[in-house]
Amino acid sequence: MLAATLGAAPASLAPVLAELTASDLVHHAESSRSVFLFRHALIQEATYLALLRAERRDLHGRAARAIETAAAGRLPEVAAILGRHYATAENADRAAYYLELAGDHANDAFANDEAIASFREALAVTERAGDEMAAAAVQLQAKLANVLWRTARHDEARAAFRAALRLANAGPRPLDPVLRAHLHTRLGRLEMVEPRYAEAAAAFDAAEVLLGADAGRAGATDDSAADQWLELMIDGRASLHLWCFEPDLARAVLEQARPILEARGTPARKTTFYRFWTLQRLMRNRLRVDDEDLANLRASVAAAEHTGEDRDKDVGYATDFLGWALLLRGDLAAAAEELTKALTMAERIGETLLRDLALSSLTLTAMRRHEHSDGARPAPAGVRGVKGGRGEL
């Protein structure tokens, strides 16, 4: 690795390393004779600071290329290191690429704090690069906002979404309207969590204007616009009506979305539709759960299994809602089983809202089981709010 960084033959390094070792400036690592460490961090720092900026930039670039070659089959694992080397080498494109890859890799593993740190490092690179990396910065702000939302840092998530929208709308040529509509919809869904219903409605209105009238028509040809329209209608407007306990209005919105959903809906949109359709029925039926409701919720869980990168999150919320419906139905053993699954998944992926919902329903389930065993009259399970994320309930 050192030879590749310096562009030298490995054999030529042996006498130099021997001299450095004899002078006690560096020493062999205990784990391997082929690994060398500075004897003290201050020696490393003094040596590094003695280099000219151009020398540092060149060596960081060389080190990055050497690591890329050595780790060609596992680049996501070393992406954070590569991104930092390229950032110091002032190669903004490669730095942002690898730091975003590091954030994605951490996000996939639900290492939320690591993902946040990598996305923020990547954003610092794009800010230094200016307007030429505005599109990359929009994408990074959106990814950062989603992880912050997952971990209940709502103010920071809102700020990230708004920063993304400012960048997307800036300049003489704003970015793709479907992308901007998506950002407005996500921001609106986050506003509901606070709850800030007027702000949420305004965000949804802005998204609808950007999508245009054709996005929700059966003959629309743009799949991305159709999917975004479904998110706006199902996860956005229908969700808002349910938040406000307006089941009739929610049902009307869901009925409007149904033809497009059946023709072009993704598993992610279907899993949310089934849950919201069930919730408006429960509101209208005084929380009485019937076989049709349970069938719809099991269909929601089945659809969530195929939602791609958000699969674990979607399955967790769908399973949690099924458990809550079973609790309402009085099937306490089955409810506890589903809710425990949801709680286990929430703790694994760091989804704070899902954890809270599952714990609250498990507590109610335990109380009702205790009341049954004592012969007392069971307390009602109660109504749950519609929450943020992918339209969670």
- CA gap 363, 32 in Å, rounded: 52
Q: What is the pLDDT of residue 308?
A: 83
pLDDT interval class at 33 (50, 70, 90): confident
pLDDT for 96 beyond 70? yes
For residue 9, pLDDT over 80 is answered with: yes
- Residue 378 DSSP code: P
pTM: 0.85
Name the residue among 139, 37, 121, 59 with its Cα closest to residue 84.
121
**pLDDT band at 390, cuts 50/70/90?**
very low
Assess whether pLDDT exceeds 80 at residue 377: no
**CA atoms of 170 and 318, how far apart (whole Å):** 38
Tokens for 193? 């969590």
* pLDDT given for residue 385 in this prediction: 52
For residue 387, is pLDDT > 60? no
- Residue 334: exposed, middle, or buried by beta-carbon count in 10 A (0-12, 13-18, 19+)? middle
Instruction: Quote the pLDDT of residue 289.
Output: 96
pLDDT of residue 392: 38
Q: Is 374 a residue whose pLDDT tops 90?
A: no
CB atoms within 10 A of CB 29: 11
Go through the chain and tell me how many residues it has.
Answer: 393
Higher pLDDT, 378 or 28: 28
Distance, CA of 262 to CA of 256 (rounded, Å): 11
Alpha carbon separation from 67 to 182, 238, 289, 330, 357 (Å, rounded):
37, 49, 58, 58, 44
Q: What is the 3-state secondary structure (H, E, C) of 30-83?
A: CCEEEEEEECCHHHHHHHHHHCCHHHHHHHHHHHHHHHHHHCCCCHHHHHHHHH
Pairing, β 26-29 against β 32-38: antiparallel
In the 8-state DSSP scheme, what is residue 214? Answer: G
Lowest-pLDDT range of 278-282, 288-292, 329-333, 382-386: 382-386
pLDDT tens per residue, range 347-357:
999 898 899 99
331: tokens are 């099937």
CA dihedral 122, 128, 129, 134 (to 10 degrees): 60
* Average pLDDT score over residue span 2-29: 91
- Residue 265: what pLDDT? 92
The pLDDT-based confidence of 380 (bands split at 50, 70, 90) is low
> Which range has the worst mean pLDDT, 113-127, 264-278, 302-316?
302-316
- The confidence band for 215, taking pLDDT boundaries of 50, 70 and 90, is confident
What integer pLDDT is reported at residue 389 of this predicted model?
A: 38
Mean pLDDT of 131-146: 95
Cα–Cα distance, 6 to 36 (Å, whole number) = 15
What is the pLDDT at residue 139? 96
Nearest to 141 by CA among 114, 159, 117: 159
Q: What is d(CA 254, CA 239) in angstroms, rounded to the nearest whole number?
A: 10
CB 201 within 8 A of CB 187: no
Q: How far apart are the first and last CA of the chain?
A: 51
Task: Assign 130 a pLDDT band (cuts: 50, 70, 90).
Answer: confident
Each residue of 243-296: pLDDT tens digit? Answer: 999 999 999 999 999 999 999 999 999 999 999 999 999 999 999 999 999 999
Q: What are phi and psi of 321, to 5 degrees?
A: -70, -35
Please enumerate in sequence order all residues whose Cβ is within 8 A of that of 239, keeping only pairs 6 or more positions apart, or say none.
Answer: 189, 192, 250, 276, 386, 391
Q: Is the pLDDT of residue 101 over 80?
A: yes
Q: Where are the domains of the chain?
A: 1-37, 51-163, 176-265, 279-393
Q: What backbone torsions phi and psi does residue 31 show, to the nearest 5 degrees?
A: -80, -25
Q: What is the pLDDT of residues 188-204, one digit of tens each?
A: 999 998 899 999 999 99
For domain 51-163, give the CATH number. 1.25.40
- As a whole-number percent, the residues of the chain with pLDDT over 90 amount to 79
